[in-house]
Amino acid sequence: KDSTLYFRPSGTGPDVRFYIFGKKETHLEEIHTVMNYIDDNFKYY
């Protein structure tokens, strides 16, 4: 909501790195929001 996220391949394997630019006070809340969105919409079980 208040941050910009950048995703890119790690370059050393199948992992993905992400970078967050935004308010220091809310970054953890926003990361968890993104993690929940990814789990709900893209995660395969």
Q: How far apart are CA 31 and CA 35, in angstroms?
A: 6
What pLDDT is stored for residue 9 in this prediction? 87
| 24 DSSP assignment | T
Domain count, the chain: 1
13: phi > 0 → left, psi -120 to 50 → alpha, else beta; which?
left
Cα-flanking dihedrals φ and ψ of residue 25, to 5°?
-70, -25
14 or 3: whose pLDDT is higher? 14
**Range of the structural domain that residue 26 is part of:** 4-42
Give me 16's structure tokens.
Answer: 């993905």
Q: pLDDT tens across 9-41, in order?
A: 888 888 888 788 888 888 888 888 888 888 898
Q: CA end-to-end span of the chain, whole Å?
A: 28
